[in-house]
């Protein structure tokens, strides 16, 4: 298992200090990947969390010193994401920024997130989660589409397994992946919440010539 962080542009100075190491800058070739065991990374990065209310229930935001590491569904424990139990910290700058951007998203005022992400997973899982970040707001792809994008159409089942382990729901948009027939399938937050998120984005998206 390794941990890989993505940092996007326009992060405030305070958050830049949080993620100055082990980052992947989107659109840039600079990459740092740590191969330290997860337990060592956790010792170096105390986990903190806050809870927020949303149209899909109360969700829990979890962060390390390097970035947002999980968005968990109401009532979800840490089994699926394999995280240690975090400490509550409602005023952590990164959690406040994530909360603000999620509320803007639910209010249809934001279509792109601008947050440092600190994800932990296998190399294959990280590839799948990175591919999720390429799915535009208001669009969907099938499991087969993602497998094809990753270069192995036979990896559909493995892609589904990686999506189920995606720790940063909504922001890393596994809700935008649907079944080959167009049906909503397989979602850690439940199909009702998946439908809410897809409908929210589609109502706000401007039609194109390809619709």
User: What is the per-residue pLDDT across 108-155, written as a single tens digit (0 to 9) for each?
Assistant: 999 999 999 999 899 999 999 999 999 999 999 999 999 999 999 889
Q: Is the pLDDT of residue 10 over 60?
A: no
How far is Cα 202 from Cα 211, in angstroms, rounded to an integer? 11
pLDDT of residue 188: 85
pLDDT of residue 208 exceeding 80: no
Higher per-residue pLDDT: 18 or 168: 168
pLDDT band at residue 204 under the 50/70/90 scheme? low
Q: How confident is the model at residue 57 (pLDDT cuts 50, 70, 90)?
A: very high
Helix (H) or strand (E) holding 75: none
Q: Rounded to whole angstroms, how far apart are CA atoms 47 and 137?
A: 29
Using alpha carbons, list the distances in angstroms from residue 61 to 67, 102, 145. Answer: 11, 10, 29
pLDDT, position 187? 83
pLDDT band (50, 70, 90) for residue 45: low
User: Which residue in 94, 174, 177, 188 is the catalytic one?
Assistant: 174
**Dist. CA 66–CA 85, nearest whole Å:** 17
* Helix%, strand%, coil% for the chain, nearest 5: 35, 20, 50
Specify the pLDDT at position 189. 85
Instruction: Quote the DSSP letter at residue 36.
Output: S
Ranges 27-36, 74-83, 200-209, most confident: 74-83
In the three-class reduction of DSSP (H, G, I as helix; E, B as strand; rest coil), residue 120 is classed as: strand
Q: Residue 197: which pLDDT band, with cuts at 50, 70 and 90?
A: very high
Residue 151, C-beta contacts closer than 8 angstroms, at least 6 positions apart: none
In this predicted model, which residue has the larger pLDDT, 162 or 21? 162
Residues β-bridged to residue 7: 25
Spatial separation of the C-alpha atoms in residues 6 and 24, rounded to whole Å: 4
Q: Is the pLDDT of residue 78 over 70?
A: yes
With residue 58 as reference, give the H or E element that holds it: none
88's enclosing H/E stretch is strand 87-88
pLDDT at position 129 is 96
Q: Is the pLDDT of residue 36 over 50?
A: no
Q: Is 103 a catalytic residue?
A: no
Nearest to 31 by CA among 1, 2, 11: 2
**Residue 55 has which token pair?**
């149209």
Which residue did the predictor score with more confidence, 123 or 9? 123
Distance (Å, whole) CA 76 – CA 68: 17
Between CA 110 and CA 113 the distance in angstroms is 7
Name which residue leads in pLDDT, 186 or 82: 82
Tokens of residue 97, six digits = 């920024």
Structure confidence at residue 30 as a pLDDT band (50, 70, 90): very low
């Amino acid at each position: 298992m390794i941990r890989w962080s993505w940092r996007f542009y326009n992060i405030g100075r305070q958050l830049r200090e949080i993620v100055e190491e082990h980052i992947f800058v989107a659109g840039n070739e600079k990459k740092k990947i740590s191969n330290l065991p997860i337990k060592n990374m956790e010792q170096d990065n105390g986990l903190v969390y806050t809870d927020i209310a949303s149209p899909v229930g109360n969700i829990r935001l979890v962060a390390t010193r390097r970035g947002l590491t999980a968005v968990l569904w109401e009532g979800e424990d840490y089994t699926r994401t394999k995280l240690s139990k975090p400490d509550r910290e409602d005023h952590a700058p990164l959690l406040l920024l994530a909360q603000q951007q999620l509320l803007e998203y639910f209010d249809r005022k934001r279509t792109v997130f601008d947050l440092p992400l600190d994800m932990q997973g296998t190399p294959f899982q990280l590839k799948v989660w990175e591919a999720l970040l390429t799915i535009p707001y208001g669009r969907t792809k099938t499991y087969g589409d993602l497998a094809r994008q990753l270069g192995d159409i036979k990896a559909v089942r493995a892609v589904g397994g990686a999506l189920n382990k995606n720790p940063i729901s909504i922001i890393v948009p596994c809700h935008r992946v649907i079944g080959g027939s167009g049906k909503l399938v397989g979602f850690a937050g439940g199909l009702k919440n998946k439908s809410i998120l897809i409908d929210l984005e589609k109502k706000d998206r401007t039609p194109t010539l390809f619709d």
